[in-house]
Amino acid sequence: MSDYPPISEHLDDVESARTEGRRKMDWALQHMPILNELRDQFEAEKPLDGQVIGMAMHVEAKTANLVELLALGGAEVAITGCNPLSTHDDVSAALDAHENITSYAVRGVDEDEYYDAIESVVSHEPTITVDDGMDMVFAIHEDYPELIDTIVGGAEETTTGVHRLRAMDEDGALEYPVFAVNDTPMKRLFDNVHGTGESSLANIAMTTNVSFASKNVVVAGYGYCGKGVAKKASGQNANVIVTEVEPRRALEAHMEGYDVMPMNEAAKVGDIFVTTTGNRDIVTEKDFEVMKDGAILSNAGHFDIEIDLEALSDLAVDEYDARDGVRAYEMDDGRKLNVLAEGRLVNLASPIALGHPIEVMDQSFGVQAVCVRELVENADAYDAGVHDVPDELDVEVAEIKLAAEGVEIDALTDEQREYMGSWSHGT
């Protein structure tokens, strides 16, 4: 087992980091009505008493409020990052200061350290896993299968993670229940559409200082993330071009009024590229060859494999940092292609990245929290495998949010409910 130490042992000035991290957490908490409401509940009822939660997530202020919520609910929590560049050390330190929380997340770790930190989390012998990319689930299944017996279940945050878990499930290889938090309406509609959309574009704007008005913005993939990026770019007067492989999604984008074309055509005219597919090799050598001088490339999917950086680097006669967070690749014909945030998630890994907007994560983490509570309270109800979040949990979170925003809605009358359930009414 790894003896990779918690963040506090990595820092020179732990105290000031903790103060700063707590300040960041406090700011976020101000804009998280759902977690605020759940804090009251969890603190009073301690639904997670006796549980050990192992987490691999982006460790920044918002996530930290989820982590603290889980600890306030009675759990012991061990956490590490799910991306070497997304950890905020000060927030990690603030968490680590909590008596029920140990944080191993450190920004800028190398690959060995990354996996060592996961091992350190595993050494706490979690009964519940909470993932953003299934690293924790994968580590346990691969290297610590002996823990599986005592694991109640898990929750996974991302599209990509859920996709991989489903594949694992189909292979019969997933040995405890995991909630596909990503697949709830709450997650996809708000986090993916509004969260990824707004924050990716704000990061691009504030890293490059270019504007979107009149730009050809190429959005690769028209899933929920792609829809969000396209919608928000269009809302800033960009000319949106969508690339897709699924005919119905392509048609949906076309009907929305966007241009739809193959990537190699889009590559010729695009000013700014944002990949959102969750797949690999989306922008490749043949695309680099036809791109315009000054093209800006970014990724809002999960892994850094959507833009083929290896091929780009091979093509380049020179590489250098054009700005913080902007890597310029100079082609032999003098064209410069600019990659943001090393091709990692532009809204999480750029130098000024703040991640998803606070309120959006509030919703997503609200679902995480009630899912963890559900795993404890109704453990027997779930077999090994990927589970959709039960509708009533998702609805519970929506209701908390609406109430917090002061939005009232109608309720079905008995007559309406009966009508919706009947089938013998005439024209």
Structure tokens at 218: 């190429």
The reply to whether 423 sits near a second copy by the rule CB under 8 A is yes
Rounded to the nearest whole angstrom, what is the least distance from the CB of residue 257 to a second copy in the complex?
A: 4
The correct pick among 120, 199, 275, 364 for binding a second copy (CB under 8 A) is 199
Restricted to residues 31-70, the positions that interact with a second copy (CB under 8 A) are 31, 61-62
| Cα gap 250→256, rounded to integer Å | 10
Annotated binding site: 132, 157-160, 187, 191-192, 221-228, 244, 279, 300-302, 347, 356
Annotated binding site for substrate: 132, 157, 187, 191
Restricted to residues 246-275, the positions that interact with a second copy (CB under 8 A) are 246-248, 250-252, 254-263, 265
Restricted to residues 392-411, the positions that interact with a second copy (CB under 8 A) are 394-395, 398-399, 401-402, 405, 407-411
In this structure, what DSSP letter does residue 350 have? S
Which helix (H) or strand (E) segment holds residue 376: the answer is: helix 358-377
CA 214 → CA 137, 167, 210, 238, 288, distances in Å?
44, 41, 11, 5, 22
Rounded to the nearest whole angstrom, what is the least distance from the CB of residue 45 to a second copy in the complex?
A: 22
The reply to whether 126 sits near a second copy by the rule CB under 8 A is no
Nearer to a second copy, 206 or 311 (CB): 206
Residues binding a second copy: number (CB under 8 A): 113
Q: How many CB atoms lie within 10 A of CB 252?
A: 16
Nearer to a second copy, 51 or 83 (CB): 83
Which helix (H) or strand (E) segment holds residue 296: the answer is: strand 296-299
CB 399 within 8 A of CB 392: no
Annotated binding site for NAD(+): 158-160, 192, 221-228, 244, 279, 300-302, 347, 356
CA 77 → CA 16, 64, 179, 193, 284, distances in Å?
23, 11, 18, 30, 41
Report the phi/psi class of residue 134: left, alpha or beta, with left for phi > 0 and alpha for psi in -120 to 50: left
What is the x/- site pattern for a second copy, positions 279-298, by CB under 8 A? xxx-----------xx----
Restricted to residues 321-360, the positions that interact with a second copy (CB under 8 A) are 322-323, 326, 336, 352, 354-355, 357-360
